[in-house]
A and B are shown apart, each in its own frame.
Chain A
Amino acid sequence: MRVPDPSWLAAALLATLGATACAGGSRTGVATAPPPAVGSVAELETIAKARRDSARLRYTEADVRFMTGMIGHHAQALVMAGLAPTHGASASVQTLAARIINAQQDEIATMQHWLGDRREPVPEVRIQGTAVMVQGAEHAPHMPGMLSDEQMRQLDEARGPAFDRLFLTFMIQHHRGAVVMVYGLFATDGAAQDAAVFKLASDIQVDQITEIDRMERMLAALAEGRAP
Chain B
Amino acid sequence: MINRATPVDHSLFALTQEPVMALVSPSSIRPAGRVTAQLGTLALMSGLLGAAACAPSTSTSGMGAPVPAASATVAAADPRVGLRAGLLDAEEAVWNLRVLSTTPPPREFLGAMNSDLAFTGTYAIQGNFNGIQVWDISDPSQPGLVVGHVCPASQSDVSVYKHLLFVSGEGLEGRLDCGTEGVQEAVSHHRLRGIRIFDIGDIRNPKYIGNVQTCRGSHTHSVLVDPKDADHVYVYISGSAPVRPEEELPGCSGAPPDEDPNSALFRIEVIKVPLAHPEQAAIVSSPRIFHDLVAPPTHGAAPEDRAAIERAKARGAFVVEVEGQEFVLPERMTEEMLDGVVKARGGTGAPTAADSASLRQALPDMVARMVGSRPGPAEGPRPGPTQCHDITLYPAIGLAGGACGGYGLLLDISDPVNPTRLAAVSDSNFSYWHSATFNNDGSKILFTDEWGGGGQPKCRATDPKEWGANAIFTVAGRQMHFKSYYKLPVPQTPEENCVAHNGSLIPIPGRDVMVQGWYQGGISIFDWTDPANPIEIAFHDRGPVDASRMEMAGSWSVYWYNGVLVSSEIARGLDIFELIPSVFLSQNEIDAAKTVRLDYLNAQGQPRFVWPPSFALARAYADQLERSNGLPGRIVAVRQELTRAERAAGTARREGLLQLATQLDGDASRSSDAAKVRMLAGAVRELAATTR
Asked whether any CB of chain B lies closer than 8 Å to the CB of A224, the reply is: yes
Closest to A173 in B: B380
Q: Is the CB of A206 within 8 A of B172?
A: no
The residues of A that contact B182 with a CB separation of less than 8 Å are 58, 193
Please provide the chain B residues from 289 to 348 with a CB less than 8 Å away from any CB of chain A in the complex: 295, 320, 322, 327-330, 333
Closest to B254 in A: A183
Q: With contacts A33-B145, A206-B432, A226-B322 known, is A47 near B3, CB below 8 A?
A: no
Q: Is the CB of A22 within 8 A of B150?
A: yes
Q: Is the CB of A225 within 8 A of B327?
A: yes
Closest to A46 in B: B110
Q: How far is the CA of A50 from the CA of B549 in the complex (A)?
A: 17
Q: With contacts A205-B241, A214-B428 known, is A224 near B327, CB below 8 A?
A: yes
Q: How far is the CB of B306 from chain A (nearest CB, A)?
A: 14
Closest to A86 in B: B6
Q: Is the CB of B381 within 8 A of A179?
A: yes
Contact with B along A193-223 (1 / 0, CB 8 A): 1011011101101110111111011011001
Q: How far is the CB of A8 from chain B (nearest CB, A)?
A: 15
The residues of B that contact A108 with a CB separation of less than 8 Å are 2
Q: Is the CB of A206 within 8 A of B405?
A: yes
User: Which residue of A24, A182, A196 contacts B181 across the interface (Cβ within 8 Å)?
Assistant: A24
Q: With contacts A192-B172, A224-B370 known, is A214 near B88, CB below 8 A?
A: no
The residues of B that contact A187 with a CB separation of less than 8 Å are 186, 245
Q: How far is the CA of A106 from the CA of B88 in the complex (A)?
A: 25
Asked whether any CB of chain B lies closer than 8 Å to the CB of A65, the reply is: no
With an 8 Å Cβ cutoff, the count of chain B residues facing the other chain is: 99
The residues of A that contact B103 with a CB separation of less than 8 Å are 36
Asked whether any CB of chain B lies closer than 8 Å to the CB of A3, the reply is: no
Q: Is the CB of B295 within 8 A of A217?
A: yes
Q: Is the CB of A127 within 8 A of B383?
A: no
Q: Is the CB of B9 within 8 A of A95?
A: yes
Q: How far is the CA of A56 from the CA of B508 in the complex (A)?
A: 44
Q: How far is the CA of A50 from the CA of B110 in the complex (A)?
A: 9
Asked whether any CB of chain A lies closer than 8 Å to the CB of B36, the reply is: no
Asked whether any CB of chain A lies closer than 8 Å to the CB of B669, the reply is: no
Q: How far is the CB of A22 from chain B (nearest CB, A)?
A: 5
Q: How far is the CA of A90 from the CA of B3 in the complex (A)?
A: 21
Asked whether any CB of chain A lies closer than 8 Å to the CB of B56, the reply is: no
Q: How far is the CA of A33 from the CA of B379 in the complex (A)?
A: 52
Q: Is the CB of B330 within 8 A of A225?
A: yes
Q: Is the CB of B104 within 8 A of A216?
A: no
Q: Is the CB of B370 within 8 A of A26?
A: no
Asked whether any CB of chain A lies closer than 8 Å to the CB of B33, the reply is: no
From A187, A200, A226, residue with most partner B Cβ within 10 Å: A226
The residues of A that contact B12 with a CB separation of less than 8 Å are 95, 98
The residues of A that contact B531 with a CB separation of less than 8 Å are none
Contact with A along B40-63 (1 / 0, CB 8 A): 000000000000000000000000
Q: Is the CB of B180 within 8 A of A23?
A: yes
The stretch that binds A, out of B117-125, B439-447, B453-461, is B453-461
Asked whether any CB of chain A lies closer than 8 Å to the CB of B82, the reply is: no
Q: How far is the CA of A70 from the CA of B95 in the complex (A)?
A: 42
Contact with A along B81-118 (1 / 0, CB 8 A): 00000011100000000000001111110111100000
Q: How far is the CA of A180 from the CA of B377 in the complex (A)?
A: 14
Q: How far is the CB of A183 from chain B (nearest CB, A)?
A: 5
Q: With contacts A28-B151, A198-B154, A217-B295 known, is A179 near B110, CB below 8 A?
A: no
User: Which residue of B110, B145, B370 contacts A223 across the interface (Cβ within 8 Å)?
Assistant: B370
Closest to A45 in B: B87
Q: How far is the CB of A194 from chain B (nearest CB, A)?
A: 8
Q: Is the CB of A210 within 8 A of B456?
A: no
Q: Is the CB of A27 within 8 A of B370?
A: no
Q: Is the CB of B455 within 8 A of A25?
A: no
Please provide the chain A residues from 13 to 69 with a CB less than 8 Å away from any CB of chain B in the complex: 20, 22-36, 39, 41, 44-45, 47-52, 55, 58
Q: With contacts A32-B147, A94-B9, A225-B333 known, is A209 near B181, CB below 8 A?
A: no
The residues of A that contact B205 with a CB separation of less than 8 Å are 30
Q: How far is the CB of B461 from chain A (nearest CB, A)?
A: 13
User: Which residue of A35, A195, A210, A225 contacts B154 across the interface (Cβ within 8 Å)?
Assistant: A195
Q: How far is the CA of A182 from the CA of B154 in the complex (A)?
A: 17
Asked whether any CB of chain B lies closer than 8 Å to the CB of A99, the reply is: yes
Q: Is the CB of B240 within 8 A of A206?
A: yes
Closest to A83 in B: B5
Q: With contacts A98-B12, A207-B432 known, is A28 near B184, CB below 8 A?
A: no
Q: Is the CB of B112 within 8 A of A85?
A: no
Asked whether any CB of chain A lies closer than 8 Å to the CB of B431, the reply is: yes
Q: Is the CB of B8 within 8 A of A210?
A: no
Asked whether any CB of chain A lies closer than 8 Å to the CB of B573, the reply is: yes
Q: Is the CB of B107 within 8 A of A33?
A: yes
Q: How far is the CB of A210 from chain B (nearest CB, A)?
A: 4
Closest to A180 in B: B380
Q: With contacts A127-B2, A225-B333 known, is A26 near B180, CB below 8 A?
A: yes
Q: Is the CB of A99 within 8 A of B107?
A: no
Contact with A along B195-210 (1 / 0, CB 8 A): 0000000000110100
Q: Is the CB of A47 within 8 A of B111?
A: yes
Q: With contacts A36-B573, A205-B241, A214-B406 known, is A195 near B113, CB below 8 A?
A: yes
Please provide the chain B residues from 1 to 17 with a CB less than 8 Å away from any CB of chain A in the complex: 1-9, 12
The residues of A that contact B183 with a CB separation of less than 8 Å are 193
Please provide the chain B residues from 421 to 471 with a CB less than 8 Å away from any CB of chain A in the complex: 426, 428, 431-432, 451-453, 455-458, 463, 467
Q: With contacts A51-B112, A98-B7 known, is A209 near B383, CB below 8 A?
A: yes
Q: With contacts A24-B181, A33-B107, A47-B107 known, is A102 near B463, CB below 8 A?
A: yes
Q: How far is the CA of A197 from the CA of B322 in the complex (A)?
A: 42
Q: How far is the CA of A216 from the CA of B380 in the complex (A)?
A: 13
Asked whether any CB of chain A lies closer than 8 Å to the CB of B157, the reply is: no
Q: With contacts A99-B431, A113-B549 known, is A216 near B377, CB below 8 A?
A: yes
Asked whether any CB of chain A lies closer than 8 Å to the CB of B171, the reply is: yes
Asked whether any CB of chain B lies closer than 8 Å to the CB of A140, the reply is: no
A–B Cβ pairs within 8 angstroms, 10 of them: A22-B150, A28-B177, A51-B110, A55-B112, A82-B3, A98-B12, A108-B2, A172-B377, A172-B383, A214-B426
Apart from the given pairs A30-B147, A32-B145, A223-B370, 18 other A-B contacts in the complex at a CB distance below 8 Å: A30-B148, A36-B145, A39-B104, A47-B110, A51-B110, A95-B428, A101-B5, A103-B456, A106-B452, A110-B550, A127-B2, A187-B245, A193-B184, A195-B113, A198-B173, A202-B240, A210-B385, A210-B405
Q: Which 3 A-B pairs have the closest CB atoms?
A: A51-B111, A33-B106, A203-B453
What is the interface of chain A, defined by CB distance below 8 A to chain B?
6, 20, 22-36, 39, 41, 44-45, 47-52, 55, 58, 75, 78-79, 81-82, 84-85, 89, 91-92, 94-99, 101-103, 105-110, 113, 124-127, 169, 172, 176-177, 179-180, 182-183, 186-193, 195-196, 198-200, 202-203, 205-207, 209-214, 216-217, 219-220, 223-226
What is the interface of chain B, defined by CB distance below 8 A to chain A?
1-9, 12, 87-89, 103-108, 110-113, 129-130, 144-151, 154, 170-173, 177-186, 205-206, 208, 240-242, 245, 295, 320, 322, 327-330, 333, 367, 370-371, 373-375, 377, 379-381, 383-387, 389, 405-406, 426, 428, 431-432, 451-453, 455-458, 463, 467, 549-550, 552, 571, 573
